Structure 1
Amino acid sequence: MADFQSSQSSQSYRAPKGTYDVVPGAADRDPHLRPEMWAWVESIARDTFRRYNYTEVRMPLFEETRLFVRGVGESSDIVSKEMFTFTDRAGRELSLRPEGTAGVVRSYVEHSLDKLAQPLKLWYVGPMFRYERQQKGRYRQHVQLGAEALGSDDPLMDVEVMALLYDIHQAAGVLEEVIHVNNLGDLATRQSYVPELKAYLDKHRSDLDPDSVARLDTNPLRTFDSKDPGTQALLAEAPSIEDFLTKDASAHFAAVRQGLDALGIPYRVDDRLVRGFDYYTLTVFEAKSPVLGSQDAVGGGGRYNGLVEEIGGPDTPGIGFGSGVERVLMAAGGPSDVPGVDVYFAALSEDARMPALSLAGALRREGVACELDYAGRSAKGQLKQADRSGASWTVVMGEEELASGVAKLRDMSTGEEGKIFISGGHEDILRAVSG
């Protein structure tokens, strides 16, 4: 038993493949590994969602597997290859959520949210799970910002959702971003176009990659997602959906383009863009930044007018997007500065520690970020730590300062030192550090 325990204790444990830890560390680490970067980008997103009048929602991390099969689509790579699926103790088949839309729509139906004023504009942030080959910026557990607008088929709703995504990215500093947009048509468009596309692909079946062959009988449109060079060469000669769009579908796309032009959002029409989910109709889009290299998508989404009905709800139009936070941070320049400690209290004697704690507590309640020494550092060590912490100000307190009721206040950016009254409480410090 002792040998077993010794063996167990000597084992090293690492995060599972395709995951990572966000921990304090050096500033030169990848941005998504640094905790301050997450707080920064999430605060940008929250403020942008507020300005667009979107309400936050929170959904379970796992759902019934059949929700994703029915919603995302059996032909999608997510359902066929990438889901983390398990059976619980009651024999129910569940899956960790691979994307956010299906869960939001399930909640919309379950709680009869169609009875609220429409359109209902929702947003979320949280982890998603996909079993895929790990690449830079793509992980088996990744965090996604997303928005869903349900209850409106207005093409300007499409424009708003794309503008919301673009504004979040631009506020975060995403570089050289362009929105790629396409129109997949309405049901009547699909009914005339898909048979023509399938007939063309069937003639070249032997030259298609295996995944594209598998999609021919389920969703031929998904062949446009193929990365295989041979398949892409064939698709270049395939019938274009643009030639099959109904009058209504064409008018919808024209209005979307007019709206993007009105807002000055850079976009490019890409008639080969289909996205990876089966539920998309009409508008689909991807936000791309060339700084990411060949895997250049920062986020994307589209309209899904039949999804709510497919999941058991009323006929309700919808549109949304998802954007991986890791991808945003990789494509962004990052903040010029990150908020740190406002005031560091250097207590030079044991008797000064409790008054310093009291002053720090009062300042914290006023919104001032404070730090104290809890490691038994010397006076010199505390001043060094104040500098390392990035503090803007240091309050130096010892026996002499306690006796006089006047402490030293050091401006850490200039090194200049002045006097500050502490006998009356924290108010003088607050006024000094608040400018």
Structure 2
Amino acid sequence: MASTAAAHVARRTASLSAPTRTSARSFSSALLGSAEEFPGVPSLRPAPARASAVSVATIPELGLTVATESSARASTVLLHLPAGGSASEASGEAGCSHVSKFLSFKSNARKSSLGTLRMMEDLGITPIARAGRTSAIIGYSATPDVAADPDMLDTLASPCTFEAWDVRDAVKTAMIEREQAYSDPHLILSDKIHTAAFGEASSLGRSFYVDAVPSTESLAAFRARAYGSSGAVLSATGVADHEAFVAAAEAAFGAVPAGGTGASPAATMVGGEQRVPAATAYAHLAMALQAPSDPVVAAVLQKCIGLSGASGFGSSELIGAYGYANGEDAASLVASLVTALQAAAGAPIEAAKAAAKGDALLDGGLADSVVAGVAVDGAYDFAAVAASYDAVTVETIKTAAEEALAGPLAVAAVGDVSSVAHHYDIAKALSS
């Protein structure tokens, strides 16, 4: 018995003292990191976030300003064309801005429409095309590695060749959008309030939407002036190498005529009224005043109007109040909008500043904020934008509101307008 126990203890001691066998796999795991043990496998740890910074450069011979933002996870490339809006249309070019929006990414001297479409699909690109009264924007969103793709920048820069089928499709699409807009009271008001403010014959007063089919010659003349690099701003988010992007932009835009004519022409606000009767039980009403020349003050004043009991709206030219009600309550609607405009100067300014600052920094996305800031000020700095709103004072808003109320009034009404007061009576109530 004793010898058996001793043998057991001896075997146990020998097993404890024997070296442990370790496989090559376990040994390497103990000494190597995952990236070294499995080369080529992407890291699961994301790169640390970088502070956003905007760099701006000008290419004098092209008249093009190029801005890049460095930290966005996705890239949006936008070409801001200050003369691409309907206000820049010459005589005989009505509707060219609207149709031109749908000629973006169509056939050019280097690629057909189908070739461009296939290229964008291969690159995972989403095209962007917008137009309005005072400007147009074309561009694309993509991953940062293709933001400076030379073929895409060439597509932004290259003039359209106006193939018959491209023009036909663009006109048809513009007509469809026009019909959709004219069935929406909000879009009708947006169109008509400018007509009321500036007059139907002025550059800012005529309708943005195409009413008649523009000729190919008119489209070509408009785009030759409006869709060039001169006076334009090219911005891109998510671009780490600013110099490389500027070089790629210079190569693309330097190969085509600069064109461009700078900003759209100015118009004088005269005030007036537009009424669009429609078979509906509701009355939609907008009242607009001339916007302050300082866009920061205008944005804060617009929020003050919204905090005074109405829906505030604004553009680079106008600020105002909007509302709707049953036709029989039109008198109360008029009174509420008049009160909102009169009370704007007394609205909580800190709340208005915070809302306006949030819109400036966040509304519409980083790409739109950068291109808009550079187009207006030639630069964009997040801290400077925030500080400009913080600097607005109660006295500044009070003065701006008084000056706006003393100026012209524009009124637009859509729907059951039979009980809506006319311009003379509204202007009288507003001045009382």
- Could you tell me the TM-score, scaled by structure 1's length? 0.25
Comparing both chains, which one has the higher relative contact order based on Cα–Cα distances under 8 Å and sequence gaps of 6 or more? 2
Higher Cα Rg: structure 1 or 2?
2
Decide which structure has greater helix share: 2
- Could you tell me the TM-score, scaled by structure 2's length? 0.25
